[in-house]
Amino acid sequence: MSSAPLPLEAAPIAFGTDGWRGILGVDITLERLLPVAAAAAAELAHAAPDGLNSREVVIGYDRRFLAPELAEAICSAVRGAGLKPMLASSPTPTPAASWAVVQRGALGALVITASHNPPEWLGLKIKGPFGGSVEGDFTQRVETRLAAGGITVPQPGDTDRFDALGAYLEGLRAKVDTAALAAGLQRLGLTVIVDPMHGSAAGVLPALLGEAAVAAGAIQEIRSQRDPLFGGHPPEPLAPYLQELIATVRRSSAGGQPAMGIVFDGDGDRIAAVDEHGRFCSTQLLMPLFIDHLARARQLPGVVIKTVSGSDLMQQVAEDLGRTVLEKPVGFKYIAAEMLAGEVLVGGEESGGVGFGMHLPERDAPFAALLLIEALVEGGVPLGQRIDALQRRGGGAAAYDRLDLRLPDMAARARLEALLASTPPAEVAGLPVQAVIRTDGVKLRLGPSHWLMLRFSGTEPLLRLYCEAPGEERVAAVLSWARELAEQV
């Protein structure tokens, strides 16, 4: 596995869109982690809503190197803040920690994880009492506490442990009839092959669907053992890192046993799938299916929320079913805010995060997987056929891809930002721009299911290019055009 050289100096402690992350042993050390955990716990207590009298803080962790040990260590920081840590007895998906917060009526949760980042990373996520990630103003107050330099002495002591994973599984079974799903898969003759990418969602779907489904071959799992190196790739649900799953699905289908794949990222909050033909299905394709199933078959209430980088098919399917669609900037925090404010059917982003109004204001990949299986059982056809039908209903298939382009320096980034702000392109790869959308970055609409979006990273000279177009060749041409534009500035 090739990777960039490790930094020699720690970066300043700063929270991003979902927690504080960095290189283990450089940015993330016990000396730095303890005060961050203490400040986060203290802010959870300070910001607790009226009537919440709990002193508990749930502590979760993933399967990364030293994650269990650091999770146990920060319990002393929580005690030092005058609060009671409740430590998960095993690695769990991050949404299990969020579930535990709501179930127990706790102040919140601290989760030791770096989510889908490369193996050398680790970090800390903070969950609020509502069962989702805290917002930016909360983490700013945590940073203010750290800057103020208040002393919180870690307190040693015995830590209570609880079965967070078992409680989470029980909660999911109460929301979805998992026995009916297992029976439905056997009726369809469809095998679900799960790839947890060596992460903390390993074993979750087989446990939910039951031993009989496993014995009957309705569900299998690959790469389920703990591997802090994640097989040499980041545990991110992207096609280049899923070749084993894609090959396994194709072998099964070619051998006469139709199969599909479901993949989770390292901490189980992002999902993707592989259809019976081996086609990678990101949430660009899964979200329309969730919308159709929940609105048409389940007839659940609520609006649909998509990020501006989401496929047009999401909006087409939602509006066809009479649902209002809200388009938000990239980042699940914008979706979660809408889920806390009003009635939401489903909200999702192109990178794999999906949340459901009937559940938590949180990305929850195992719950999404159950609803995906439920949709296929209800429809009676495999994933690829279901997606193809939705695309035909929306006006035809479209292709999508994303390219992350590192610019030479921040000066080059500033020049490109200024150009896009003052004179955005009037033409892209031979087609006129019909509309310029500035919800997040710059999105150039070229036609139905045809657009290019340019969006900069928060602090790096990194440009993210997103494109949806009628075919893969056109996507490649538009991204190539965008790359040339960026490199010429």
Q: Which residue has the tokens 């006129």?
A: 432
User: What domains are there in the chain, each with its CATH number?
Assistant: 20-165 (3.40.120.10), 176-393 (3.40.120.10), 399-488 (3.30.310.50)
Judged by DSSP in three states, 110 sits in: strand
Nearest to 449 by CA among 312, 336, 323, 332: 312
Average pLDDT in the 65-83 region? 97
pTM for this prediction: 0.94
Mean pLDDT (the chain, rounded) = 94
Per-residue confidence (pLDDT) for residue 4, from 0 to 100: 57
Count of CB atoms situated within 10 Å of the CB of 168: 26
pLDDT tens for 126-176 read 999 999 999 989 999 999 999 998 778 899 999 999 999 999 999 999 999
pLDDT tens for 305-349 read 999 999 999 999 999 999 999 999 998 989 999 999 999 999 999
Nearest to 56 by CA among 105, 2, 123: 105
Q: 390 vs 186, 306, 310, 319, CA distance in Å? A: 24, 17, 16, 13
**Element (DSSP H or E) covering residue 489:** none
| Encoded tokens for 56 | 């508990």
Please report, in angstroms and rounded to a whole number, the separation of the first and last CA atoms in the chain.
32
* pLDDT band of 1, cuts 50, 70, 90: very low
| Encoded tokens for 190 | 């469809």
Per-residue confidence (pLDDT) for residue 152, from 0 to 100: 82
Q: Which residue has the tokens 């146990």?
A: 72
Nearest to 93 by CA among 5, 165, 175: 165
Position 336, amino acid = A
Helices (H), 135-242: 136-148, 164-175, 178-188, 204-209, 211-215
pLDDT tens for 271-309 read 999 999 999 999 999 999 999 999 999 999 999 999 999
268: left (phi over 0), alpha (psi -120 to 50) or beta: left
Burial class (CB in 10 A: 0-12, 13-18, 19+), 254: exposed
- Please list the residues that pair with 419 across neighbouring strands: none
Average pLDDT in the 195-206 region? 98
Per-residue confidence (pLDDT) for residue 351, from 0 to 100: 87
